[in-house]
Amino acid sequence: MPTRRAAPRATPAAATAAALAAGRRAVAELPGVGPRGADLLARLGLERIGDLWFHLPLRYEDRTAITAIADLVPGERAQVLGRVGAVERGFRFRPLLRVALEDDSGATLVLRFFHFNAAQARGFEPGARVLAYGEPRPGQAGLEMVHPSYRRLAADAEAATDERLRPVYPTTQGLDGRRLAGWVARALVELPGDDVLELLPAALRERHRLPSLAAALRYVHAPPPDADLADLAAGRHPCQRRLIVEELLAHHLSLRRRRQAQRALAAPALRGGGELAGRLRAALPFELTAAQERVVAEVGADLAQSAPMLRLVQGDVGSGKTVVAALAAAQAIEAGHQVAVMAPTELLAEQHRRSFAGWFGPLGIEPVWLAGKVKGRPRASALAALAAGAPLAVGTHALMQEAVAFARLGLAIVDEQHRFGVHQRLALRDKGASGAGVPHQLVMTATPIPRTLAMAAYADLDVSVIDALPPGRTPVQTVVLPETRRDELVARIRAACADGRQAYWVCTLIEESEQLQARAAEKAHAELAVALPGLRTALVHGRMKAAEKEAAMAAFKAGAIDLLVATTVIEVGVDVANASLMVIENAERLGLAQLHQLRGRVGRGSARSSCVLMYGTPLSLLARQRLEVLRGSNDGFEIAQKDLELRGPGELLGTRQTGVAAFRIADLGRDAGLLPVVAELADALLDGHPEVVDALSSRWIGQAERYAGA
Ligand code: ADP
Ligand code: MG
């Protein structure tokens, strides 16, 4: 077992305990919920009354007024009251129900349904009175609402409008939104005052002008009739801000806590004379950049400590992260410890294996290779070597499996490719299982992440940035073209290869299925081979055997192949300096970070390189904007920032693993500006009020933490 230094345990203040106790009763105790309701709520992770207080509205609907149909504004949700003028049911391509609604303003609104049952359709007889709420959009004949929520009114019934804005909560199948809203409202009756609920010290709240928690919760669940809907929709109201800050703070603190716990463990202090690293450096065909030198020094200093390093190295594609990792490995090996280098895909892991074998082989150190596909005798001998203390292992996350036992793992290097999370990082610490303590961890991101986001997602790591590229690179020129101009591209490839250059043709598909991807790539390969007679072509996709892939890649690297047709498996790691042209099919289907990563496969040498982003038509506005970002910038950090603005953080970070997308009210794309305040509050709390830290985390992260037992 890893040794654990005694960590001081704070006793929660009485108020903290009371705050937790207040919301602890089971939801089934609320009037109207019962065991059936409790089951539904459990699906939303809501088990206690206090959980409902923190189940926050996604948005609000204004049904306090009725808008005349003639006054509807496209895009602005509104409520209308009208009579059914005409009904049309169609079945041409798919079922269709269109209902023309008229009111005294003389205008007509079409309600359009694609899914409906017979009873619903019968309900719309001409003359029926209907109260509908939805978003009007321009249609074939005037404005229409697609799938509005609606209610039929009896001929003489009054159309009762809401007194307040209606909060809309995230719900689950089988649980009507209004019922859920009713339960939340009922739970709020039990909301205690700030004397019990508030966890943030008054001085901190005043400094950052944050309303009290009880006030914020009441406001957000039931904004007054005159509340500014636009402010609320934008998450700008001070009461929302208060909750956003608290939620971000809770997540940030929980990461910091994990970090503290991790740092409290003992790690081997990896010091040596630097002789091995010196020999490695001497053999390099280049000088390190100043940025690389700085990061090597930061990492080296961490490794020499007896608290485990937890460091993230960020750097743009091609900034030279691998050699930095290799120098760290040399330091650990010289100190007599083992190093594991891990990558998320086999192809990338193979690339690292080649790089590390190239650097360490001449120094008498052969990396041990371990991937999921290594079975039988090779696997047994790899495991035996690691157990016997072989200094260097390279592979996929197979290296982290339970069966793999290291004799004295001192450093784990993880190339993250935005899909590795906190949990895996934690799992690593058990790999050091020896008297020597837990291993140091060096994480490299293949995708730069904006600073603000890194602060949120990686609050458990120190961050080093390699902020310059090695000299002598010519920026890649990026072109955006419709697929209708495919023939021109074929000509371009022919010209580039005639010039002695090499090219990539990358196939993408929306489907996650490797099989479909592979088939698309096979088809493209066959077509290109016909269109480009005389060129030596090869194919690489995820369904091929590792040895086949490796052979194709090696041939391409050696210049024996002119055109490599591939799926996105080549996203990371592939390094062929003579390749100067890349065509990406259906580029609009990929994320910006992924495109930037792919594009980084060219422009590795000194030749002028280009990347053609080919898109299928028609192209949506957002897709066009995204491709334009790429055309306009070669800077991964800038691209990541734009991607964050355009698409939110989930895409950048890989949502589930990091948990950052599971926010109730915060939205990192929108609220990243609050992160400095969050970091400041976190420092203040950890320093002065450690007793509230756990309460805050469990209040907001509740379920996940409870189950993970973290
Ligand atoms: P990434 O940061 O994207 O992982 P790599 O580590 O794969 O980048 O490095 C990209 C290429 O640049 C490799 O061929 C590597 O050998 C080379 N390289 C790394 N550092 C330097 C340097 N200081 N000068 C010149 N080339 C370098
Ligand atoms: Mg890399």
DSSP 141: T
Average the pLDDT over 673-678 and give the result: 87
Mean pLDDT score across all residues of the chain: 86
DSSP reduced 3-state for 647? helix
Q: 316 C-alpha to center of ligand 2: Å?
A: 9
Helices vs. strands in the chain: H and E counts, helices first: 28, 22
**CA 268 – CA 435 distance, rounded (Å):** 9
pLDDT grade for 521, boundaries at 50, 70 and 90: confident
Q: Are strands 462-466 and 310-315 parallel, antiparallel or unpaired?
A: parallel
Ligand 1: does its nearest atom lie under 6 Å from the Cβ of 289?
yes
| Exposed / middle / buried, residue 217 (Cβ in 10 Å: 0-12, 13-18, 19+) | buried
Predicted TM-score (pTM) of this structure: 0.72
**Distance set, CA 503 to CA 50, 538, 556, 563, 655 (Å):** 59, 11, 9, 5, 33
**CA 406 – CA 399 distance, rounded (Å):** 10
Q: 304 C-alpha to center of ligand 2: Å?
A: 25
Residue % of the chain over a pLDDT of 70: 88
**CA 685 – CA 261 distance, rounded (Å):** 17
Q: 320 C-alpha to center of ligand 1: Å?
A: 3
**CA 609 – CA 580 distance, rounded (Å):** 4
What is the pLDDT at residue 218?
96
What is the pLDDT at residue 669?
72
- Closest approach atom of ligand 1 to CA 415: 4
**CA 120 – CA 130 distance, rounded (Å):** 12
Average the pLDDT over 142-153 and give the result: 91
What is the pLDDT at residue 90?
77
Ligand 1: does its nearest atom lie under 6 Å from the Cβ of 616?
no
**CA 383 – CA 375 distance, rounded (Å):** 11
- In this predicted structure, the answer to whether residue 227 has a pLDDT above a threshold of 50 is yes
For the segment 270-297, what is each residue's pLDDT rounded down to a tens digit? 998 899 999 999 999 999 999 999 999 9
Of 58-62, 157-161, 229-233, the least confident = 157-161
Q: Which amino acid is at 548?
A: E
**Distance set, CA 437 to CA 378, 397, 429 (Å):** 29, 21, 9
Q: Whose CA is nearest to atom 19 of ligand 1?
A: 320
What is the pLDDT at residue 10?
35
**CA 301 – CA 311 distance, rounded (Å):** 11
Closest ligand (CA of 349):
2
For the segment 78-87, what is each residue's pLDDT rounded down to a tens digit? 999 999 999 9
pLDDT grade for 511, boundaries at 50, 70 and 90: low
431, 437, 660, 291 alpha-carbon torsion, rounded to 10°: -100
Q: Which amino acid is at 440?
A: H
Q: Whose CA is nearest to atom 1 of ligand 1?
A: 318
**CA 664 – CA 700 distance, rounded (Å):** 8
- From the list 458, 468, 466, 467, the residue with the least C-alpha distance to 311 is 458
Q: Whose CA is nearest to atom 24 of ligand 1?
A: 470
For the segment 562-576, what is each residue's pLDDT rounded down to a tens digit? 999 998 777 655 678
In the chain, the domains with their CATH numbers are: 12-60+166-234 (no CATH), 65-153 (2.40.50.140), 275-466 (3.40.50.300), 477-633 (3.40.50.300)
Largest CA distance in the chain: 93
- From the list 363, 373, 421, 380, the residue with the least C-alpha distance to 395 is 373
For residue 217, list its beta bridge partners.
Answer: none
pLDDT grade for 495, boundaries at 50, 70 and 90: very high
Ligand 1: does its nearest atom lie under 6 Å from the Cβ of 702?
no
By most ligand atoms within 8 Å of CB, the mutation choice from 281, 284, 286 for ligand 1 is 286
Q: 292 C-alpha to center of ligand 1: Å?
A: 10
- From the list 414, 440, 415, 430, the residue with the least C-alpha distance to 309 is 440
Ligand 1: does its nearest atom lie under 6 Å from the Cβ of 286?
yes
**CA 457 – CA 425 distance, rounded (Å):** 13
Q: Whose CA is nearest to atom 4 of ligand 1?
A: 321
Element (H, E) at 151: strand 149-153
Q: 638 C-alpha to center of ligand 1: Å?
A: 20
Average the pLDDT over 225-232 and give the result: 87
Residues 6+ apart with CB under 8 A from 495: none
Q: 579 C-alpha to center of ligand 1: Å?
A: 15
Chain position carrying tokens 């039931």: 222
Average the pLDDT over 400-418 and give the result: 84
* Cis amide bond preceding 618, omega within 30: yes
Ligand 1: does its nearest atom lie under 6 Å from the Cβ of 288?
yes
Strand 136-139's sheet: what is its strand order? 136-139, 142-146, 108-113, 96-102, 78-90, 129-134, 149-153
Element (H, E) at 1: none
Buried b / exposed e across 414-447, counting CB within 10 Å, b at 16+? bbbbbebbbebbeebbebbbbebbbbbbbbbbbb
Which ranges in 499-533 belong to alpha helices (H)? 514-531
- Contact between 509 and 327 (Cβ < 8 Å): no
By most ligand atoms within 8 Å of CB, the mutation choice from 353, 466, 575, 578 for ligand 1 is 575
Q: 469 C-alpha to center of ligand 1: Å?
A: 8
**CA 559 – CA 308 distance, rounded (Å):** 43
pLDDT grade for 555, boundaries at 50, 70 and 90: very high
Q: 539 C-alpha to center of ligand 2: Å?
A: 22
What is the pLDDT at residue 7?
37
What is the pLDDT at residue 571?
60
For the segment 312-359, what is each residue's pLDDT rounded down to a tens digit? 899 988 899 999 999 999 999 999 999 999 988 787 888 899 999 999
Q: Whose CA is nearest to atom 26 of ligand 1?
A: 470
- Closest approach atom of ligand 1 to CA 600: 3
Residues 6+ apart with CB under 8 A from 41: 27, 33, 47, 51, 52, 175, 183
Q: 569 C-alpha to center of ligand 2: Å?
A: 14
C-alpha angle 131-156-106 in degrees, rounded to nearest 5: 50
Element (H, E) at 341: strand 338-342
Of 362-376, 422-436, 456-470, 668-682, the least confident = 422-436
- From the list 454, 444, 449, the residue with the least C-alpha distance to 643 is 449
Which two structure tokens, joined as six digits, stand for 414? 């993880």
> Is the pLDDT higher at 245 or at 120?
245
- From the list 480, 484, 478, 479, the residue with the least C-alpha distance to 617 is 484
The dihedral through the CA atoms of 245, 676, 630, 580 has a sign that is negative
Ligand 1: does its nearest atom lie under 6 Å from the Cβ of 326?
no
pLDDT grade for 70, boundaries at 50, 70 and 90: very high
pLDDT grade for 609, boundaries at 50, 70 and 90: very high
Q: Are strands 129-134 and 149-153 parallel, antiparallel or unpaired?
A: antiparallel
Q: 271 C-alpha to center of ligand 2: Å?
A: 26
Which ranges in 286-391 belong to alpha helices (H)? 290-303, 321-334, 346-360, 376-387
- In this predicted structure, the answer to whether residue 154 has a pLDDT above a threshold of 90 is no
- Closest approach atom of ligand 1 to CA 324: 6
For the segment 570-596, what is each residue's pLDDT rounded down to a tens digit? 765 567 889 999 999 999 988 888 888
What is the pLDDT at residue 465?
92
For the segment 636-672, what is each residue's pLDDT rounded down to a tens digit? 888 888 877 776 655 555 433 333 446 788 887 788 7
- In this predicted structure, the answer to whether residue 607 has a pLDDT above a threshold of 90 is no
**CA 251 – CA 667 distance, rounded (Å):** 13
**CA 615 – CA 483 distance, rounded (Å):** 6
Which two structure tokens, joined as six digits, stand for 169? 């909560």
DSSP 61: E
pLDDT grade for 400, boundaries at 50, 70 and 90: confident
